Structure 1
Amino acid sequence: MVTVELLGPLRVWVGGRPVELPAGRLRALLAVLAMSAGRTVPADRLAVAVWGADARGDPRANVRTNVKRLRRALGTAGEQVIAARPGGYLLMADPEQVNALRFGRLLDEAAADPAAERSRLAAALALWRGTPFDGIRSDWLERSVGPALQERYLSALERRVDLELAAGPCPSLTDLADLADLAERHPLRESLWARLLRVLESAGRPAEALERYETIRRRLAEELGADPSPELRQVHAGLLAGDAPPLARAVPRQLPAAAGGFAGREAELAALDALLRPPPAPSRPPDAPPGVADRTRSPAIAVIAGTAGVGKTTLAVHWARRVAGRFPDGQLYVDLRGYDPSRQAVRPAEAIGEFLAALRVPPHQIPDGPAAQAGLYRSLLAGRRMLVLLDNARDAAQVAPLLPGASGCLVVVTSRDHLAGLVVTYGAHPLTLDLLPAVDAERLLAARLGRDRIAAEPAAVEEIVRRCAGLPLALAIVAARAAIHPAHPLGALAGELRDGLGALGRAVDVRAIFSWSYETLADETARTFRLVAGLHPGPGCTIDAAASLAGVPVSRVRAALAELTRANLLTEHAPGRYSCHDLLRAYALELCQARDADRDAARHRVVDHYVHSACAAAAYLHGHFETVALPAPRPGVRVTGFAGADEAMAWLAEERPALLAALDLAAGLGLDRHVCRLAAALFVFLHRRGRWQERAETQRAAVAAARRLGDPVEEARARRDLAAALADLGRFDDAHHHLDAALEQDAPSGRAWTHYIRTLVYGLQGREADALEAARRAHDLFDRLGEEVGQAIALTDLGWYHGRLGNHGQALDLCEQALVRHQKLGNRPYEAHTWSCLADTRLRSGDPAGAVPCYRQALEVFRELHDPYAEASTLAHLGACHHLAGDHASAGEHWTHARALLRGLDPSTADQIHAQLRTIDTSAADAFRGRR
């Protein structure tokens, strides 16, 4: 019996024994005979196939000589394996033992028998190990037989992809990687690329699909001067239409609250209203298909430009809220901070990240790189009616990446600059906002103070309007001053303006208005204004942060903030959160630099506030990572306290921009230890909120800070946290690089945690055997060091991966040991996880009844921890247990409850739970999804 493998490097077995043939013509001779196994091959054809048409000497003699050599190389059975026949030679082999022939037979039968097509295609493709006849020198095999086999292979693979997609579940990640690699090796095979795009779409990765479409489109244009095929264009159109990703259905409502007392601007409002009217249909060639012109239209863009404080944002928000109903797919808003004196302008990539989060794109579906993320953003907006408000833009370069790619959306941009680049390049409609006319300024005052009060003192109102020169921000501050003192006549207010400002005319300096109002403040209130408006790093300041900046008790700062709000120098945009116009921030910073010598001390205190408060919040989210000693806060620092996990998570979510800004501030002040502590505190929170890129960035900052400190232990800690963040982003090689570096730098305790993180990385890679080995190493180190928390965690991981590898008895034993330890240590998050591991192992081992009480225990703790995703997952698995037991009514009740929880979470969570259920039982998974 002889077996020959030709679909890849040559491999030969005779009588079950492997045979290694010498390099050269013997390999080609055997391959040619094997391709006709069981049939005689004429000697002349053998000669041409092995040596080519121009072979030297007697071809038949060459064949005889080399057949003898081949028989000797095959061993004692060589004479029986290669038989002489009249005119030629015969390989005595069953064609089924030659994988290239078996491959062809399976494909022929697959085409003839549709019922078995998927399984036969899978069996045929599994025979493929690489390039046919790899390492064999034969022009006939390389130029004729090999390409034909390759074409059959590619066609079979494409057919299998079509069948898999039609059947429902998307291919595995391994299949996807193989398909992507194959497409790169066949860069101009459009049918293969079309399948790759569809598989990426099915796998929930539309942005990557769009990016790869652009790759093949460019290649076709550059190398062939051709456009993509109709099939590729059709797939691309489906991606742009958003047919695939269920993630694109969120309807964000991000517009900020409208300012009170809006008045005037009728002409500007009418100009904006005109943008809502459909443009005239553009001309198109008579032979163009319907709809072509529509697809090429750009989105409508308005640029509202004007001087600082003229009311650009007020107008934009007022109009946007008025027409929001015309944009049923939602409204997006971002403050680009183009002119903020104390903070950097928002990078386009950062703004796109915020928009993707608002559109509820699951983190694992956000691609790497700004270009790919921008492509996903435009794809999600394609075909939708959305309003996008880009506030306080610095220049056209900041805005251009945030523009949708097609009609249907409307973009409103506000800026002090006219952004001529947007007008020229994108056809934006410019709208210059001038100072308010006197009549509109009076209407604004009337809206704020009441018509009776305005009508009672027309001369005073006229002077107030004249001295504020029609600047809405100045009018708002004066109106606030008048509202604070309702008994004071407006004439007295006008007199104060006259004395404080002089005749400013239309060239009013808004700082003079600020000064006029600021100078009336009590000393402590004035100092609070300078510190809060001038030094706070984030977009909004809480009472605790303000108290820390000022270094005074909360009761005192609360009174100062109330006075500043009444004076319209600060705005309480949410209960207990204060912000102000960027002009007021610039004014406050100027005052602070001139009058407050202890500015750095105030900055240190606010960094202390955020670090200590974030650490206190993080303690509610997890109890299983390394505990790190934290120095006591400076005197005067107010640390925010929390009543429980929900309150802690809400604070972290609200303060996220300020916390990230505080991390940058700490680095700028040289507070590197604070950088490391804050990055560690944000680690779990940013993961749960899907801010995976931010999590990686904060850990990179921690690595850099630890290097500046010259602290290898701290650097190792930051590196392993960075590795976990990179693994979530699919950057496994980088993750392992940082783990290797951490192992070299750290103390034994830290190395144990590094092995623990390695377990997580291997788990995400699907390398379960390697994950088990890493968990074993972590456990051994924790055991030697006597670290009970780490020992218990590693035991759970050991049990989990034993269960995933089918070692159910050992998995149950290890998880039960871990459970006792978690309960003793009070580690409730890992106690719940271990109950879930026990349940999962019992369910996989065919014991759904035994899994139910374990799932119920896990459910109880997850509810206590306020972890809705874990609760929903546990309920779904409980439903699967009942489904498998035939109790479909109970299964339905659990699944209904699970779906109710999932409605408040990221859309991908339901798909994740469905994937978990499919690994246990397909029927339960399908029933769960069918009820959604």
Structure 2
Amino acid sequence: MPTEFGLLGDLQARVDGQPLDVGHVRQRCVLAALLVDVNQVVQVGQLINRVWGELAPAGAQATLYSYLSRLRTCLTLADDIQIIRQSGGYLLAADAASVDLHRFYQLAGLARATPDAGQALRIFEESLNLWRGDPLTPLDTPWANSLRTAWERDRVAVDRDRTDLALRHGQHAALAPYLMARVEDHPLDERLVGQLMLALSRSGLQAEALDQYDRLRWRLADSLGVDPTPELQRLHTDVLKGDTELREPAGAIAAGEATVPRQLPAPPPYFAGRARELAELTRVLSVRDGADQTVAMCAVGGPGGVGKTSLALRWAHDNLTSFPDGQLYVNLRGFDPAGPMAPEVALRGFLDGLRLPAASVPADLDARAALYRSLVAGRKMLILLDNAHGMEQVVPLLPGGPGCVVLITSRVRLGGLITNHGARWLGLDVLDGEEAHELLARLLSRGRTDAEADSLREIVRRCGGLPLALSIIAARAVMQPDLPLDAVTRELREEATRLDALNAGDLTADLRAVFAASQHRLAAAPNRLFLLLALAPGPEIGLAAAARLADLSPSRTRLLLQTLQDHHLVQQHRPERYRLHDLVRLYAADRAHRDQPPELLAAALRRLVEHYLDTARRAARVLDPQREPVVADPASTEETAEEFTGQDEALAWFAREHPMLLAAVEHTATQGLDQHTWQLAWTLETFLDYQGHWRDWAQTQRLALDAARRLHDPLRQAHAHRSLGLAGTQLGLLDDAYDNQRRALELFGELGDEGRQADIARGLGWICHQRGHWAEALDFNQQALTLYQHLDHRPGQAMALNNLGWLHVMLGEHRRALAFCTQAVAVHQEIGDTNAEAGAWDSLGFAHHHLGEYAQAVRCYERALELVRGFHEGFNEADILRHLAETRQAAGDPDGARGCLEAALSLLEQLDHPAVEQVRGDLDRLGEAP
């Protein structure tokens, strides 16, 4: 049963010629809203706006669903119609020609393209006869009213085109009365008056034709203060001369001659790198053969200033021969301050490029798009859509079939192009160092780049590989040839002036303006998160931390981060890890301080710091369960706080968050958050020690000591001195380490804390050992053992015993050393401290080695390595390997010794430890041995 729909008059639906009841006015409006975009998805929000406008009731969505359900029931008799639910909206599937509106536009386009005048006139008549009255009667919504106006303009344009054609083919006598009536209705329509003048003149009514001109001239002057168009004035002259037989009326359509548009802008004058991206574009945009019915299409995405347009134009000009039928180009101005270009405006530019007469260009977007698709169908053309803002701009500009190639650039991810239109995606990142250097070298003179090579390298680094930033710097250098590049680098070094340096004097060459254009397209929620992310300490941020920063749930935060990714303001470089380009971060941080209340920013950053502190406490407890907290841990209020089931998970978290935690300590120190500064440094100590990050350990503890002094807290000062002493010992800064440990011992003595006095005494013993002061070291460790025994502190006793054993080896008392070390191993096994047990086995092996008992020493060292490797403690593992190498060499196994030293060297190089050179020397000496 064929189904027909009428929109050009009262809303009608017929099945097999019989009227179909489609419900009340609102329900009919839903049907009309789908028919206008037949075979296209209409989003739910669009449907609600079309049906109710600003008067949508609270339950509009539920009501809409009920209307759609009823419409499906009404249309069950129509076998060729379906209302289909699709992602985000609904689609009415039907033959477009079954809807009089679409049939009207199809016929109008066909009539304009038909060369036979008689046939074209018949098609024009068929098109205009579809109109039965005011469209969409009786619907009365803002959407329906705006469409009614637009469609009426298009009907008038088609009627004028038909009249032009009829006048060219001698129908002036029949047209004159009709045109007289039309002029009465539209007295200021110059095209219509021109047609009437021609019809009257050719009918021998020259005076009346001149009279029509005079009336129009007076009406224009009186109403608008303007004269008739030059073309109408020329027609007036022809009527005076009696020469109107060959004169085309104003705005008459032409026969539609084929043309080859060449709209591409010039190629980028300076272009570097991008070989991989150019090759990828060539691969995905190869012109398809006739068997492939899809359009070859690729969207190039990336942040503002990354060089998307340059890449697209470079590729387009390199491949011009693949497009013999021409190239269409439009800058859609997706991020201009004045707003993005409307698709109908872009289409007008394309139709102009295809030499379609202005009078033949429909006013309606759908009609323009249909006409454009007809004109490019089957042609091998490149269509470059530059700087697109979104799908609503792009879709009307897509051709309808194979032959054409579409290349799109955008700062946002156009996912709908991939899912609905088969486009390929090419994400564009910043230039690498070599490519960035090449671009600058091309922009500047060779002599200058050679003479100022160091400054050039720093500029590349400070600009982060962003092509626009590099070009701006080059432009400044060209405009100021006497300005040394070193002066520019000084501006770039300072965060406060870096963005000022990246401004060449206009909006297209001002990095702030480029970033602002992207930011201003954000809604309030993602914009707030964008600004907060810029202030977060550290080079990146995880999802959980971002959620606490924004005080949102992780799921909501993930959605907002996706929006920022879509706008290329944030990059997800690893799963649930996000970062901003350095220059984007500078811009956003500046905007945050300008646009957001200080108390809001402070509260957000405090939430973030407390998230890091809470999670670090949990991880630190897993790493070292025996470690006593200095202060009681507050109960966590964070619902999504991370839990750790083992040391591997805790270590992985610390390793991942390490740079952010260090930055958080620096942030709290500068903001006067002394409690947070000290506590963060405390939670980091075990990880930084175990992983050999001793410089970071020392720096965080210096900040902690300053915070403790401001807090006037002797306990925290004592702990900071102790920790600084331990870090200094690991770094080989023995004098500083000794001074800090002595001060810690004094403070803990004043506080009456015997346990920590014992710890400090043991630490001082190790410093004395490092200095070669064995007897003093022995005294400190004996002092520590006595205090541990008094407190019945078994872990402390084990470590002191181990140290005493080691020191007796140093003093040549090897049998006494074996006794102490054996006791230390037993106590460590009793309390289950496998990490410390590894150290005791190492000391035991050392004692056996000095007794010449190499086989026993090897077994002890191998057991120590087995334990320490399970804890991923790089420095201690390297130290044991060095001892094992010494024993293997002494036992006559130089190859085994070399393998141990090479493994130790690799670990120490990863830690950037001062002992690296010593191990290299050991390897060299081993190679020289006979």
Q: Which has the higher contact order (CA 8 A, sep 6+)?
A: 1
Q: What TM-score do the two structures reach when normalised by structure 1?
A: 0.45
Specify the structure having the higher radius of gyration (Cα).
Answer: 2
Q: What TM-score do the two structures reach when normalised by structure 2?
A: 0.45
